[in-house]
A and B are shown apart, each in its own frame.
Chain A
Amino acid sequence: PTTRHVDMSKSESDLAINIRKATNIEETAPKRKHVRSCIVYTWDHKSSQSFWAGMKVQPILADEVQTFKALITIHKVLQEGHPITLREAQANVNWLESLTRGISGDGMRGYGQLIREYIYFLLAKLAFHRQHPEFNGTFEYEEYISLKTINDPNEGYETISDLMTLQDQIDTFQKLVFSHFRSGANNECRISSLVGLVQESYGIYKFITSMLRAMHTTTGEDDALEPLRSRYNAQHYRLVKFYYECSNLRYLTSLITVPKLPQDPPNLLSEDDERPAL
Chain B
Amino acid sequence: MSKVIRGVKNVTKGYSSVQVKVRNATSNDPWGPTGTEMSEISQMTFNNSTDFYEIMDMLDKRLNDKGKNWRHVLKSLKVLDYCLHEGSELVVTWARNNIFIVKTLREFQHIDEDGRDVGQNVRISAKELTSLIQDEERLRKERLDRKSWKSRVTGIEEY
A interface residues, Cβ below 8 angstroms from B: 1-5, 31-33, 36, 39-40, 43, 80, 82, 142-143, 195, 254-257, 278
Contact = CB atoms under 8 A, between A and B. Distances in A.
B31 interface: no
Contacts of A195: 107
Nearest to B124: A257
Contacts of B131: 278
Nearest to B104: A36
Contacts of B98: 3-4, 43
B117 interface: yes
A205 to B, nearest CB: 18
Contacts of B127: 257
A31 B90 CA distance: 33
Contacts of B57: 4-5
A32 B100 contact: no
11 contacts: A2-B93, A2-B97, A4-B56, A31-B109, A32-B109, A33-B67, A39-B104, A40-B104, A143-B134, A195-B107, A255-B107
A2 B90 contact: yes
Given A3-B97, A39-B104, 11 more contacts: A2-B90, A3-B98, A4-B98, A5-B57, A31-B109, A32-B107, A32-B109, A40-B64, A40-B100, A40-B104, A256-B106
A89 to B, nearest CB: 17
Interface string B73-104: 00000000000000000100110011011011
B10 interface: no
B94 A80 contact: no
Contact of B100 (A31, A43, A255): A43
Count chain B CB atoms within 10 A of each CB in A40, A82, A255, A256 and give the residue with the most. A255
Contacts, number: 52
Q: Is the interface of B mostly helix, strand, loop or mixed?
A: helix
B60 interface: yes
Nearest to B64: A40
Contacts of B100: 39-40, 43, 80, 82
Interface size class of B (residues with CB under 8 A): 20 to 34
Interface string B57-68: 100100010110
A40 B98 CA distance: 10
A39 B53 CA distance: 23
Contacts of A5: 53, 57, 60
Contacts of B90: 2
B120 interface: yes
B108 interface: yes
A4 B94 CA distance: 8
A19 to B, nearest CB: 16
A80 B97 contact: no
Interface in B43-62: 53, 56-57, 60
A256 B57 CA distance: 28
Nearest to B131: A278
Contacts of A1: 93, 97
Contacts of A278: 131
Nearest to A82: B100
Q: Shortest 8 CB-CB distances between A and B: which pairs?
A: A2-B94, A2-B93, A32-B109, A43-B100, A36-B104, A32-B107, A5-B57, A39-B104
A257 B97 CA distance: 26
B120 A254 contact: yes
Contacts of B97: 1-3
A193 to B, nearest CB: 14
Nearest to A255: B107
B101 A80 contact: no
A34 to B, nearest CB: 11
A1 B92 CA distance: 12
Nearest to A39: B104
A43 B60 CA distance: 14
A84 B134 CA distance: 20
Contacts of A43: 98, 100
Interface centre among A33, A80, A82, A143 (most CB of B within 10 A): A33
